[in-house]
Amino acid sequence: ATPRSSARQLVREALERYGLNPDDFGQFALCDVVGRPGGGGAAGGGWQGEHLREVGDWERPLVLQELWKPKAGWSRRFEIRRRQDLERAGD
């Protein structure tokens, strides 16, 4: 990934890397997720995402990361999600 990489390109590359059909990239979206470590509740806890935003296909995730940093105690990561799951969650 480079600052010039679009979200669409990164999703396509991730699908290819994990052995999925890269032509199915339209079924997936890159999401910007902000959360806190240790929010899982289990022993040791995990990472708990609390705020999710679908990144536009032509947005540049590494540029977004440079422009906006979460507050202290929060962290951010990018996740690939199925678009149908995002639509269901929005209902």
CB 52 within 8 A of CB 1: no
pLDDT for res 37: 81
Write out pLDDT tens, residues 3-56. 999 999 999 999 999 999 988 989 999 999 999 987 555 555 688 889 999 999
Give the start-to-end residue ranges of the domains of the chain.
Answer: 7-88
- DSSP for 14-68 reads HHHHTTS-GGGGGGEEEEEEEEEETTT-STT--EEEEEEEEPPTT--HHHHHHH-
- Could you tell me which residues come within 8 angstroms of residue 25 by beta carbon, excluding any fewer than 6 positions away? 8, 11, 12, 15
CA neighbor of 81 nearest in space, from 33, 41, 31, 12: 31
**Fold for the domain defined by 7-88:** Ubiquitin-like (UB roll) (3.10.20)
